[in-house]
Amino acid sequence: MKYIDEFRNKEIVKKLATRIKELEPQGINLMEVCGTHTMVIFRSGIKQILPQGLNIISGPGCPVCVTDQMDIDRMLKLAGIKDVIVTSFGDMLRVPGTTSSLEKERAQGCDIRSVYSPLDSLEIARDNRNKEVVFLAVGFETTSPAIASAIADARKNKLDNFSIYPCHKLIPPALETLLKAKELKLDGFICPGHVSSIIGSASYEFVASQHKIPCVISGFEPVDILESVLMLLKQIREKRSTVEIQYKRAVQPQGNILAQELLKTVFTPADARWRGLGTIPQSGLDLNSDFNKFDARERFDLTVKNPSIPKNCLCGQVLRGVRTPAQCGLFAKACTPENPYGPCMVSSEGTCAAWYKYNR
């Protein structure tokens, strides 16, 4: 398949792996912060062909995984309200809240539908004018423009039975929190390709200039990842720290201006709770006052009891990269994809799910 096979080419992969080995990395920790990167690295078996002195750590790159337990519980409460249709990306359905999951609530009779796009939720709202349709807006900068577009569309078409539960997260503030926490020695970031296609490379400048950590924005195929690793190792060897774009076929330094403008029109940055990272200032997106009526939290009473996380669940530490799934006592024993304790085991992009599926 064009534009895919070239980036999975065995010969190119071999050459890149050799060049990486030639740089003889020792004790180097690179972190990727994108669930799709996590999955590609495991699915294609990239870790096996990298030298031992090079460690790729998965960070908080899965939007489902970083969703706070309180938010999950509120989503569950939302699903139980009469005449509410909850729509969501499929990954959220199996995430365990304090006492239930959306999948279990659906089996109890709640109207919960999985969609591929927020625009599908709009259609459901159009077809069910006597019901309230709420979209669970979980995602990073990659998904938020589509959701902004859906909200703008809802306002234009006076679809007042549509709203969202805003749970968006922004990647750069999370990187800053990780760096300030200094729990890990990080030598470089493999930055997310699709997020960056929206926000551009400039958003990571502070990482390179203030924290002196090299950044490379990477694509999603094995050749992309390996080339990004090589670019990072070169920066490290040359003692440089800049933001470079490997994924040039999709990412511009300035990002997608149209999407950025749309985001500004509909959303405003706000403090957000992250699983494992706590509340990070200005790391989420709330609706602007003009669009506030599309905020489900304004329409429904979503008060929930204190949420609780299963004892010994290390999802939070796994998300910060300070523990590997294998270091969690529940992993692959009590906690499996069929009986998940935390979101990292459920989401198709979760670090624990990737370890379980490909690396047990």
Partner 1 sequence: MARAWSLLKGPALPGINTTVNMEDKILLGHGSGGKLSHRLLKEIIFPYFSNPILDKADDAAVFDCKGRLAFTTDSFVVQPLFFPGGDIGKLAVCGTVNDLAVMGAKPLYLTAACIVEEGFEISLLKKLIRSMAQAAKHAGVKIVGGDLKVVEKGSCDGIFINTTGIGLVPPGIKISGNNAKAGDAVIINGNIGEHGAAVMSARNDYKLKTNIKSDCAGLNHLICGILKASNKIHVMRDPTRGGVATTLNEIALQSKAQIQIEEDSLPIPEAVRGICELLGIDPLYMANEGKVLIFCPENESKKVLSAMRNDPLGRNSRIIGRVVKKDNPLVLLRTAIGSTRIMDMLTGEQLPRIC
> Could you give the C-alpha distances from 31 to 201, 214, 357, in angstroms and in order?
17, 11, 20
**Among 5-13, 164-172, 259-267, 303-311, the segment contacting partner 1 (CB under 8 A):** 5-13
Q: Binding string to partner 1 for residues 79 to 98, with x set by CB under 8 A, is what?
A: ---------------x----
Residues 285-304 that bind partner 1 (CB under 8 A): none
Is residue 56 a contact partner of residue 338, using CB atoms and an 8 Å limit? no
**Among 140-148, 259-267, 304-312, 352-360, the segment contacting partner 1 (CB under 8 A):** 352-360
> Could you give the C-alpha distances from 263 to 16, 86, 258, 339, 352, in angstroms and in order?
38, 23, 9, 37, 31
Q: Minimum CB separation from partner 1 for residue 284, in Å?
A: 24
Q: Binding string to partner 1 for residues 171 to 210, with x set by CB under 8 A, is what?
A: ----------------------------------------
* SS3 state of residue 280: strand
Q: Minimum CB separation from partner 1 for residue 158, in Å?
A: 24
What are the structure tokens assigned to 287, written together?
């609706």
Residues 113-172 that bind partner 1 (CB under 8 A): 116
Q: Minimum CB separation from partner 1 for residue 246, in Å?
A: 17
Beta bridge partners of 192: 218
Backbone angles phi, psi at 94, to 5 degrees: -95, 0
Told to check if 360 binds partner 1 by CB under 8 A, we report: yes
CB neighbour burial string for 142-178, b if at least 16 within 10 angstroms, e if fewer: bbbbbbbbbbbebbeeebebbbbbbbbbbbbbbbbbb
Of 49 and 146, the one with the shorter C-beta distance to partner 1 is 49
* SS3 state of residue 258: helix
Q: Minimum CB separation from partner 1 for residue 340, in Å?
A: 10
Tell me which of 23, 70, 317, 358 binds partner 1, using CB under 8 A. Answer: 358
List, as one string, the DSSP characters of 181-250: HT-S---EEEEEHHHHHHH-SGGGHHHHHTS---EEEE-SSHHHHHHHHHHHHHHHHTT---EEES-TTT
Q: Minimum CB separation from partner 1 for residue 1, in Å?
A: 5
What are the structure tokens assigned to 216, written together?
């490379």
Q: Minimum CB separation from partner 1 for residue 189, in Å?
A: 23
Residues 27-66 that bind partner 1 (CB under 8 A): 42-49
Chain contacts with partner 1 (rule: CB under 8 A): 1, 4, 8, 10, 13-14, 42-49, 94, 116, 222, 337-338, 348, 356-360
